[in-house]
Amino acid sequence: MNRSERRRQEAIRGRGAQQADSFALRTLLEEGTRHHQAGRLSEAERSYRLALEMTPGHPDALHLLGLLAYRANRPDQAIELITQAIDASPSNALYWFNLGVVSQRAGRKDDAVRAYERALALNPTYVDALINLGNVLKDLTRPEDAVRAYRKALALNPGHADTHNNLGVALKEQGCLSDAITAYREALRLKPSHLEALNNLGLALLETRSIDGAIASFERALAVQPAYGKALYNLGIASIWNGDDRRAIDCLSRAAQAKHNHGQPVAEGVVYRSRLKHDIEQVRYLLSRRLLGPEVMGYLQALEHLDRSLSAHHPDRNRCSIEPAQAAAIAPSFNRFLHLAPCDRLLAGALNPALDVAEVEARYLGRQPEVTYIDHLLNDEALAALRRFCWESTIWKKDYENGYLGAFLGDGFATPLLLQIAEELRLKFPRIFKQHRLTQAWAFKQDNARRGLNIHADAAAVNVNFWITPDEANRDPDTGGLVVYDKEAPRDWNFAAYNSEQNKPKIMEWLKESGAQAIRIPYRANRAVVFNSDLFHETDEIHFKDEYLNRRINITLLYGHRHQD
């Protein structure tokens, strides 16, 4: 055999070996993918790593390992592996798309935008990348860009109901209510049982004051899924607007029962020490009033034991992880309404009949932006009933890091008396509330050894914030109330921007640059602060006695929608 023939034979053998290696590599990747899809993650990882041993740096193997890490809830490792795959094969649009997916789920939204945009640069008709880009842009409060992405996706796939619904959300964020309603209706034409679109359509119709249409939309959602909490809550709000308080309270109470009266362990294995402290105090108070019986003693002891344990091991923390056995010990009563005090309508009315309507309205409208306060808001009977309800009812289930506890309309705070107060206020001061209706209400109960609410604004037209704890609880009558800043939040800031603790530095910098002045309104029992909801505000420093009945309780009523005339 001459030299040229030997070279030809060696080349043939080399090609055969390469083909065999390629076949083995493909087999490993396919095998790994089958394990991956079947949920056998350790077997899938073994196959992918064997593929990488055979061909180091192979982009498909790196990409698949990245997806495996993502499924195993290791987002940082997933991003690193998919990035390595992209380094080896930068023109693969799928790699960029999945880098966007992992980055988005990991909270790296700006990185996700860049990844989706690179995927689209490589494949402009990549519909899923357009949809996901729209979603992340919406989350980044860039509704105009989100709308553009959604419209491009729908031009390629007009039959995608979810995208029409998301387009509606972005359009509503822009203030384009009519276009949003059109988008929701198109989503429902494509998928009549689309729960989110039914709920979102109802909200948009309610905002345009189409109350009957809103109620019908929420009812359709509940016909599809009777336990759909969002629609149940929103039907409650729409029923308030419709003057049907009985139905409103029924809907809101059912929503609260589903959320908080189930007796299951805490979902994330986490409790707040401030909640334990409050619940121990409240159960002891209810026992002393004979509103609870000896059957709760085991629960009280479990709370006290857990509180001592967390105080010993985490003295500087409020939010603490707990073991499953600890969660199980308090579960039967921690997520229960052990007692709900009556809080009925008052035949003689709830507001103080001596309120000077003309004087209050003149003070409110005479200051721009609008802010004033009303002393002696409620009559004695209403104030006493509201205090009793807040002291006795075990509705305080929403925890905050600062140590205060919340109860919203959908958490058990919806009572006939509260709705009566809200409606009487609206009707008594028509020049303040105009056509605005109640959109939300809540109460916060403060841990007097901790801080109050951080600076924020609210998504409404008019805010009423009133206090019901007796004045004797407040050690410093010059503080304990509310600080309101006399500059409205920028119109292009959305709820996430003006109602987020993470945005406090941005808010404070903006207030400084705009020359905002602080209006400090001291605490008084039965005093209401009424102001334009676009104004940033925060709880003043508090110096209340650290005892159960002395906890500072404030109640907030929101009316109308932001920038709605």
The domain that holds 207 is classified in CATH as 1.25.40.10
Sheet containing strand 518-521, edge to edge, reads 518-521, 482-488, 535-539
Provide the 3-class DSSP secondary structure of residue 343: coil
Which of 221, 241, 260 is the endpoint of a domain?
260
Angle at 463 between CA 458 and CA 464, to 5 degrees: 140
What is the extent of the structural domain holding 231? 28-260
Same domain, 75 and 93: yes
Residue 362 lies in a domain: yes
Same domain, 228 and 122: yes
| The pLDDT value given to residue 41 | 62
pLDDT per residue of the chain (565 residues) written in tens, 0 to 9: 555 555 544 443 444 434 445 666 576 666 656 756 667 666 666 766 776 677 676 787 788 788 888 888 889 988 998 899 899 889 999 999 999 999 999 999 999 999 999 999 999 999 999 999 999 999 998 999 999 999 999 999 999 999 999 999 999 999 899 999 999 999 999 999 999 999 999 999 999 999 999 999 999 999 999 999 999 999 999 999 999 999 999 999 999 999 999 888 877 789 999 999 999 999 999 999 999 999 999 999 999 999 999 999 888 899 999 998 898 889 888 999 999 999 999 999 999 999 999 999 999 999 999 999 999 999 999 999 999 999 999 999 999 888 899 999 999 999 999 999 999 999 999 999 999 999 999 999 999 877 766 788 888 899 999 999 999 999 999 999 999 999 888 877 766 666 666 677 888 888 888 888 999 999 999 999 999 998 988 999 999 999 999 999 999 999 998 766 5
| The pLDDT value given to residue 24 | 63
CA contacts within 13 A on the Cβ side of 421: 27
Same domain, 397 and 520: yes
Same domain, 383 and 316: no
Residue 3 lies in a domain: no
Same domain, 118 and 88: yes
Q: Can you tell me the distance from the alpha carbon of 560 to that of 242, in angstroms, rounded to the nearest whole number?
A: 14
Tell me whether residue 183 is exposed, middle or buried, using C-beta atoms within 10 angstroms of its C-beta: 0 to 12, 13 to 18, 19 or more.
Answer: buried
| The pLDDT value given to residue 226 | 95
Q: Residue 191 to residues 149, 442, 531: CA-CA distances in angstroms?
A: 21, 35, 42
Residue 374 lies in a domain: yes
Same domain, 385 and 247: no
| The pLDDT value given to residue 151 | 98
Residue 8 lies in a domain: no
Nearest to 146 by CA among 121, 176, 122: 176
Residue 18 lies in a domain: no
| The pLDDT value given to residue 403 | 87
Same domain, 403 and 453: yes
Same domain, 330 and 199: no
Residue 256 lies in a domain: yes
| The pLDDT value given to residue 18 | 45
Same domain, 102 and 170: yes
Whether the predicted model's global pTM rises above the 0.85 cut: yes
Which of 260, 282, 300 is the endpoint of a domain?
260
pLDDT tens digit sequence for 208-262: 999 999 999 999 999 999 999 999 999 999 999 999 999 999 999 999 999 999 8
Same domain, 379 and 412: yes
Domain count, the chain: 3
The domain that holds 399 is classified in CATH as 2.60.120.620
Same domain, 330 and 369: no
Q: Can you tell me the distance from the alpha carbon of 271 to that of 310, in angstroms, rounded to the nearest whole number?
A: 10
| The pLDDT value given to residue 19 | 44
Same domain, 224 and 77: yes
Q: Are 553 and 516 in contact (CB under 8 A)?
A: no
Residue 234 lies in a domain: yes
Residue 428 lies in a domain: yes
Residues in the chain: 565
Which of 260, 295, 315 is the endpoint of a domain?
260
pLDDT tens digit sequence for 353-396: 999 999 999 999 999 999 999 999 999 999 999 999 999 999 99
| The pLDDT value given to residue 8 | 46
